[in-house]
Amino acid sequence: MTRVRFAPSPTGHLFVSGARVALANDLHARRHGGSLLLRFDDVDRDRARPAFAEAIAQDLQWLGIAWHETFRQSERLDLYAKAADRLRQANRLYPCFEGDDELRAKRDQQIKRGRAPVYDRAMLRMTPEQRAKAEANGKRPYWRFMLSPRTLEWQDIVMGPRQAKLTAVSDPVVVRADGTPTPLFASVVDDIDTGITHIIRAEDNASNTGVQIDLWEALTGQAPRVRFAHLPALADIGRVRLSRKAGSLSVRALRGDGVDPAALATCLARIGMPGTTDLVAPADLVRGFDLGRLSQTSAGFDASQLLSLNRRALSRIDFSAVADRLPIGATEAFWLAVRGSLDLLNEVRGWWEVVTGTIVPPVMAGESAFLSEAEALLPPEPWDESVWHRWTDTLAQATGRVGDALLMPLRLALTGEDQGPSLDALLPLIGRARASSRLRIAAA
């Protein structure tokens, strides 16, 4: 059975780039009737935080992603220690004592000589007496995995044929001096233990694939049955820019701005996929998702497309589903009036101020007489949605104005904006007193 995993490090909030990987795993599992494991790679004790793990889980749930099992690597240290012991017994791990400064000096010398900065395996030449002396002086070894002297080849579901020449790669550190595993090593042990069949992740992790395959074979004695799929990196495209680049834009920030989960899920699921992008409920995205059809080139995250999708999503939301996120006192009539004009839900506060607050409209040169007449011709209350057309028809007959010449000065005076919700529904909510005051200020 297809079994995938999403394995974030809880060292910060979930970024859009990570959400895309999580969604790809979720959709692939559902497409093939499989299961999704949520694994928190928290073996970095200095940076991992339980609060971030909880926040990531909340963001995934908001996005519509459901997992069948979850655990944290910090709960499985005994498993990694036993795996490391097996590699020691097979003479595939060796102790090292060089510090960061010594390793940096070695790399600098190799680069100056025109050589690749690959670890020289100097510690393999250490005698038992030298090791005992180092440990007697208080040093604790960290452990490197001895890579095989070969070139590995595999077929990436997205990127096609790939290979890794292991002799051109430094032997990776798999156990730190404090005895904790490195994320690379723990990940391989977990993937074996949990029966992962497909590893779907970002392209920036592709350089580890050859090392992981070699580790997998050393731990199991056989070639891994797992298949790899690497998603091209996200790149900002389009004319609209959000506050941060796509790869480092957090899902939590988008939630705070009022992005709907259906809009974000649709946008992320369709990146690099042929065909049009229409708003799709998260539960229905699986039908159009196929890793084999993803583009191999850098994937474009178009903020303008996200905002367009979000506008469509917000325009369909009922008042009852959004009432608790609206300004205090906001009514269903207000929501129905503005929901089709919002790119982000947080924009609703600006329109609530237009309806209930005191805004200062711009002074429009040459429009004073027209705006004064518009104020004089305001119909008496009560107002309903017919008042806008009754008023503008009367004003058109009195002034001879039509089109934008008639409507734009009125919209600017009443709302302070040159576009927005239909004034059929908005003007009755503004009310006669505020409308009169704003027309008078704009005419000054």
Per-residue pLDDT tens digits for 382-412: 999 999 999 999 999 999 999 999 999 999 9
Are 296 and 358 in a shared domain?
A: no
* Exposure class string for 107-139: b at 16+ Cβ within 10 A, else e: beeeeeeeeeeebbeebeebeeeeeeebeeeee
Are 342 and 434 in a shared domain?
A: yes
Please tell me whether residue 377 adopts helix, strand or coil conformation.
Answer: coil
Q: Residue 325's closest CA among 338, 335, 316?
A: 335
User: Residue 287 belongs to what domain range?
Assistant: 234-319
Give the dihedral sign, CA 370/375/378/384. positive
Burial class (CB in 10 A: 0-12, 13-18, 19+), 47: exposed
Confidence of residue 243 (pLDDT cuts 50, 70, 90): very low
Mean pLDDT, range 3-10, rounded to an integer? 97
Are 363 and 311 in a shared domain?
A: no
Task: Answer with the one of 319, 350, 371 that is the final residue of a domain.
Answer: 319
Are 311 and 326 in a shared domain?
A: no
Q: Residue 167's closest CA among 149, 146, 153?
A: 149
Are 267 and 344 in a shared domain?
A: no
Q: Is residue 343 part of a domain?
A: yes
Task: Answer with the one of 319, 336, 365 that is the final residue of a domain.
Answer: 319
CATH number at residue 382: 1.10.10.350
Mean pLDDT, range 59-77, rounded to an integer? 96
**Backbone torsions φ then ψ of 278, nearest 5 degrees:** -115, 150
With contact defined as beta carbons under 8 Å apart, do 4 and 14 qualify? no
CATH number at residue 267: 1.10.1160.10
Are 358 and 329 in a shared domain?
A: yes
Are 326 and 420 in a shared domain?
A: yes
Give the rounded percent of residues in the chain with a pLDDT score beyond 70.
96
Give the dihedral sign, CA 72/244/292/210. negative
Q: What is the average pLDDT value for the chain, to the nearest integer?
A: 93
Amino acid at 140: R
How confident is the model over 283-297, as pLDDT tens digits?
789 988 999 999 888
With contact defined as beta carbons under 8 Å apart, do 427 and 392 qualify? no
Confidence of residue 237 (pLDDT cuts 50, 70, 90): low
- Structure tokens of 36? 């999704």
- Structure tokens of 384? 């309903």
Mean pLDDT, range 137-158, rounded to an integer? 95
Q: Is residue 283 part of a domain?
A: yes
Are 261 and 367 in a shared domain?
A: no
3-state helix, strand, coil in the chain (%, to 5): 50, 15, 35
Alpha helix (H) ranges present in 290-422?
A: 303-314, 319-322, 332-338, 348-356, 368-376, 387-399, 403-415
Task: Answer with the one of 252, 284, 319 that is the final residue of a domain.
Answer: 319
On the question of pLDDT at 299 being above 80, the answer is no
Q: What does each C-alpha distance from 319 to 244, 256, 322 come to in angstroms?
A: 31, 18, 5
User: Cβ neighbours of residue 396 under 8 Å, at least 6 residues apart?
Assistant: 402, 406
Q: Taking the CB of residue 72, how many other CB atoms lie within 10 A of it?
A: 16
Are 299 and 352 in a shared domain?
A: no
Mean pLDDT, range 68-93, rounded to an integer? 97
Range of weakest confidence among 132-141, 184-193, 318-327: 132-141
Length of the chain: 444
Say how many domains are in the chain. 2
Mean pLDDT, range 193-205, rounded to an integer? 95
How confident is the model over 156-183, as pLDDT tens digits?
999 999 999 999 999 999 999 999 999 9
